[in-house]
Amino acid sequence: MAAPDPGDLVRINFHPQAGRIPLPEGLAVRGVVLADQVKSIDRRARQIEPAGRVPAAFLAHVLERLMSLLTGRMPMEDFDA
C-alpha cells in the first residue's frame, strides 16, 4: 500500500450521493441508508430496537454499495439513488 507524498496531486472519485440509498416504499420507516457512514454502535447501551426488516434484495444492494465505497471501484451508473 502506498501513500501520496505531500504536494502530490491525487484524483478522488467523489460523488456526494454515493452513500445515500433511499429505503424502499412500504416500510415502517422512511429515509435513507447512509452506506458511507459506517459506525460501530453498541445497540444494547443505546437501547436500540429494530424498526422492521428490509427486503433481501435491498440489503444486498446496500452491501454492494458499501463494498464499492470501501474498495474504490464504483461505476457511475450505480448512482440510482
> What whole-number distance in Å separates Cα of residue 20 and Cα of residue 78?
12
Distances from the Cα of 39 to the Cαs of 10, 36, 50, 56, 69, in angstroms?
Answer: 26, 9, 17, 21, 14
The pLDDT of residue 12 is: 65
Closest residue by Cα to residue 70 from 22, 38, 23 = 38
pLDDT digits (tens, 9 = 90+) for 16-70: 677 889 999 999 899 999 888 877 888 889 898 888 899 999 999 999 888 887 7
Burial profile 2-23: b = 16 or more Cβ within 10 angstroms, e = fewer: eeeeeeeeeeeeeeeebbbbeb
- Is 0.75 surpassed by the pTM of this model? no
